[in-house]
Amino acid sequence: MLNLELYGDIFTFHKTPVSFATEKYTNVFARKQNRTLFETIGNHKYSKLSFEVGTAYLEYVDYPLGSFLLNRKEAGDPIYKSFLNCYGDLEYCKFWIQTSRHSHSSGLYTFVSNSQVLYIGKTTDRFSRRINYGYGSIAPKNCYRDGQSTNCYVNSRVTRLNLDIEIFLCPIANLSNLTHIERALISRYQPAWNHGYRVKEGCNETT
């Protein structure tokens, strides 16, 4: 167990079994094939790229987006990064928490390595869904500017640790104050990954 103190209250986190796939993944963004380049720049999130794409990449407008970006990456063209969030071109792994006493509950969770709390998060969904289908399995759409950059960020950090990570769950019965508790715990314990994500959120670098 892991106990975190806040305002005199103790929040008890229970270690949950984690499984990892052995394979690691790169160029996940390239698997996005359901939209063309032309369709993508019609989205307001990418409208600033429409002029550049329309003039310099006209021959690619009917390419599936992922194929276009991989083509540009392999050609050494940095335009591909403009479509991705700042964690969208990193190496990822697949992991999941096993069914346990608390896996179907909701509340707070932590990622821990060598007894150091690296990340604190919250979910009103089941822990198993948030972790297994969010952080633990990076979908191509997550890699883009309008995707879920938090999933990419946390997964890439787990991957960098060579899977040396533990996950702890803290079920919360009353979810009305969940956001306040999460923020207060982050402020109190300053987990490295929470701080790192806030600093770089919104950037276009893949570092």
Residue 123: HSE in the Cβ half-sphere, 13 Å Cα cutoff? 21
Is the pTM higher than 0.95?
no
- String of b and e for 160-198 (b: at least 16 CB within 10 Å)? eeebebbbbbbbbeeeeebeebbeebbeebebebbeebe
Q: Helix, strand, or coil here: 92? A: strand
Contact 78, 137 (CB under 8 A): no
What is the reported pLDDT for 207?
A: 35
Q: 181-202, pLDDT tens digit by residue? A: 999 999 999 999 998 775 454 5
The Cα–Cα gap between 151 and 40 comes to 22
Q: 48-86, pLDDT tens digit by residue? A: 999 999 899 999 999 999 999 999 999 999 999 999 999
Q: Which residues have CB under 8 Å from 177's CB, separation 6+? A: none
What is the reported pLDDT for 86?
A: 92
Q: 3-52, pLDDT tens digit by residue? A: 999 989 999 999 999 999 989 999 999 999 999 999 999 988 898 999 99
